[in-house]
Amino acid sequence: MRPAAALAVILSLTPLAAGGQDFEYARGAVERGEILPLAEVLALLHRTHPGRVIEVDLDEDDGMMIYEVELVTEDGRLIEVELDAASGRILDLDEDDED
């Protein structure tokens, strides 16, 4: 992913902090070592699930920070992958099958 594209994706993160300061919240969490940078997580994901990223959300679930990534695979399938934002480990993968 090009740097400009990665920045556009991170700017679309779901608001987590009060006042919708999502970008600042995510940047602070990365600086504190609480989560991995989005670019690093996307690079890890690309190794096993190459494709074009459509949307990324950063959410908190039961105290765990989770990146939710929607992407279109190289063969045209739409998938949503949930990753542990601290480790990049895939937690869940759903394929959109509207056929």
Report the domain count for the chain: 1
| Of 97 and 68, more confident | 68
The pTM assigned to this predicted structure is 0.75
Give the domain range for residue 33: 21-95
Q: Residue type for 98, please? A: E
Whether the predicted pLDDT of 16 surpasses 70: no
Q: Tell me the CATH number at 57.
A: 3.10.450.40
Look up residue 21 and give its amino acid.
Answer: Q
Residue-wise pLDDT tens digits, 30-89: 999 999 999 999 999 999 999 999 999 999 888 899 999 999 999 999 999 999 999 999
Residue 2 lies inside a defined structural domain of this protein: no
Greater confidence (68 vs 21) lies with 68
The CB density around residue 60, as the number of other CB atoms within 10 Å, is: 13
Identify the bridge partners of residue 82 per DSSP, sorted by sequence position.
Answer: 68, 92
Residue 75 lies in a domain: yes
Residue with tokens 């934002």: 85
